[in-house]
């Protein structure tokens, strides 16, 4: 089977095959799609609260590393936008930035502490913080107070998704521990 990515020097990540990449992308698209199909009458789409694209992206990072995480995190929102109209076009740029930061942070963290079950939620918090800081620097937010308000609003809105990310992270650590690494948290 053709490999898309090499394993890391530490041997933490598996090689990603073309077949696995196809399945990963299909599932990564299907999960947010199903979340968006769920009946919901909130002010924002349900996905904004549950963060399903981060679920699949973290699973990709946990098993396969940064390349698979970036592939998943950047392609799935674009495919979803074309197929369903969600996420909203205006949110794709910020979401892409957040996903890139999320992938880089969680890849590094999985290498350093693969048994820690809060890597995914912490990666999300770092990604949101970077996004808020950049938005305050280059957009109409323009102030630290506005960036703080934006960040607080996004974190409160995404609290349910953070819980789901922690549960996914915990399940991966428990059922698929990294070989030769401690799994304590």
Per-residue pLDDT of the chain in tens (185 residues, 90 and over written 9): 444 443 344 578 999 999 999 999 998 889 888 887 888 887 777 887 899 999 999 999 999 999 999 999 999 888 878 877 767 777 788 889 999 999 999 999 999 999 999 999 999 999 998 988 887 776 655 566 766 777 777 777 889 999 999 999 999 999 999 865 444 44
List all residues 6 or more positions away from 114 whose beta carbon is below 8 Å from its beta carbon.
12, 173, 177, 178, 181, 183
**25: which 2 tokens?**
């992308």
Largest CA distance in the chain: 52
**Helices then strands (H, E): number in the chain?**
8, 2
**Residue 176 carries which DSSP code?**
S
Q: Which of 161, 69, 163, 51 is nearest to 107 (CA)?
A: 69
Taking the C-alpha atoms of 94, 100, 102 and 104 in order, what is their torsion angle to the nearest 10 degrees?
-160
**Which residues lie across from 16 on neighbouring strands?**
5
pTM over 0.75: yes
């Amino acid at each position: 089977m053709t490999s898309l990515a090499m394993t890391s020097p530490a041997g933490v990540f598996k090689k990603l095959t073309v077949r696995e990449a196809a399945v990963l992308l299909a599932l990564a698209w299907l999960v947010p799609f199903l979340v968006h199909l769920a009946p919901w009458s909130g002010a924002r789409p349900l996905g904004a609260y549950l963060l399903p694209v981060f679920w699949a992206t973290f699973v990709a990072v946990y098993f396969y590393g940064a390349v698979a995480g970036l592939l998943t995190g950047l392609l799935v929102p674009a495919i979803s936008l074309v197929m369903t109209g969600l996420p909203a076009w205006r949110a794709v740029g910020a979401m892409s930035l957040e996903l890139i930061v999320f992938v880089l942070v969680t890849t590094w963290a999985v290498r350093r502490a693969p048994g820690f079950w809060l890597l995914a939620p912490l990666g999300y918090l770092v990604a949101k913080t970077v996004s808020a800081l950049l938005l305050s620097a280059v957009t109409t937010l323009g102030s630290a107070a506005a960036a703080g308000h934006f960040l607080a609003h996004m974190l409160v809105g995404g609290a349910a998704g953070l819980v789901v990310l922690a549960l996914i992270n915990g399940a991966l650590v428990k059922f698929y521990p990294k070989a030769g690494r401690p799994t304590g948290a």
